Structure 1
Amino acid sequence: MSLQNRIINHFSDSIQIQQDTLTGLGELIEFASQRLVATLLNDKKIITCGNGRSATVAQLLSSAMLNQYERDRPSLPAIALTTDATTITAIANDYHFDDVFAKQLRALGQSGDILVVYTDGNNSANIAKAVTTAHDKDISIVALTGNNGGMIAPLLNETDIEIRVPSDSGAHIQEAHTLITHCLCDLIDHQLFGG
């Protein structure tokens, strides 16, 4: 296969997954945005986490809330549990890597907050432990997953929202997660600030 054909395949596959995500998950994305807005209107915060490239998307949401998405507006309360290397490595060293998000969430999370987790469907034990901790603290969850939902999907309860991208390609799942996150940011801004 030529290099140009490989490029065409990447774009074509990505476009198809984005279209399938829109068709199958558009209403869930809207519902998730409404849940995030309700959390903010109740003076609670958004907490995010993910591993590897998913950590980048988690930080994208947090950054857009704290700073801005596409327009100047007041900062919104959000914390990314992926950003403090000292804390993450200390927890991983003193306890276990599975605890890096749960331990932070136990200290920083409050009842009524919302946890947004990102995983491409792999079995991320630290995300699973964060989900369990969130439930213990009465923190609801929006889970952006892919593939078959991995070990996260069975942990979610009836009040949680799972937005599962219909793909088994980690790269394409994360591309879709980024687009979904941009949609969430736009919908939050629109619901809170109009326009």
Structure 2
Amino acid sequence: MVLNELRDHQNIIQLVIDTLTGEIEQACQIITSTIQSGNKVLLAGNGGSAADAQHIAAELSGRFVKERKALPGIALTVDTSALTAIANDHGYDRVFSRQVEAFAQPGDLFIGISTSGNSQSVLNAFQSATAFGCKTLGLSGRDGGKMNGICDLNIIIPSNVTARIQEMHILIGHILCKAVDELF
């Protein structure tokens, strides 16, 4: 079982190397230009993707590897009062889009994470981010889902296995943070 899991992970990472390197480089350019312009990065996802959003935001506001100034990385998944109030008053599908409306400025970057590419709360946040003049980056899997048509760049992990998709999302998140570190 262990060896099979490791081999499955190895196969997916090879597919990512073979097919997504250019898109990951493009994502690095998007996040570094956002930071260089003095803008912020907003992130959201549900479940394990929420944890990934929080992880990436923490690497930006704390540090990744290099000691540098704190950077504005904000996970829209952490304020339980806002999440429950918005879900109660506007429906769960609006929990991230309402926060985008509250915090986004033109030139900011919204990163939406969804293994299926079809999480309505994330899709709505993409629409709000676009309306506010934000750049948009998706991390998805399977066939990319509805995120394909609504974000500037959707990095689609070539897998149908949620665990493999999430593993690659956090790897890409770390690569993005490394690119930001190299600015300093």
TM-score range, shorter chain: over 0.9
Moved over 2 A (4+): none
Matches within 5 A, 1:70-149: 70-149=65-144
Percent of aligned pairs with the same residue?
Answer: 35
Report if aligned partners of 1:47, 1:115 keep a CA contact under 8 Å in 2.
Answer: yes
CA distance in 2, matches of 1:128, 1:95: 15
* Pair 1:179-2:176 in alignment: no
Deviation for aligned residue 1:71? 2.0
Q: CA RMSD in A?
A: 1.0
Could you list the runs of 5+ residues in structure 2 that have no partner in the other structure? none
Deviation for aligned residue 1:122? 4.9
Please give the TM-score of this superposition, normalised by the length of structure 2.
0.97
Deviation for aligned residue 1:18? 1.1
Structure whose CA Rg is larger: 1
Code of the residue aligned with 1:61 in structure 2: it is: I
Deviation for aligned residue 1:86? 1.1
What's 2:26 paired with? 31
Could you list the runs of 5+ residues in structure 1 that have no partner in the other structure? 1-5
Secondary structure of 1:44's partner? coil
Tell me which of 180, 184, 188 is aligned to 2:180: 188
* Pair 1:168-2:160 in alignment: yes
Please give the TM-score of this superposition, normalised by the length of structure 1.
0.91
Code of the residue aligned with 2:67 in structure 1: it is: D
Report if aligned partners of 2:138, 2:153 keep a CA contact under 8 Å in 1.
Answer: yes
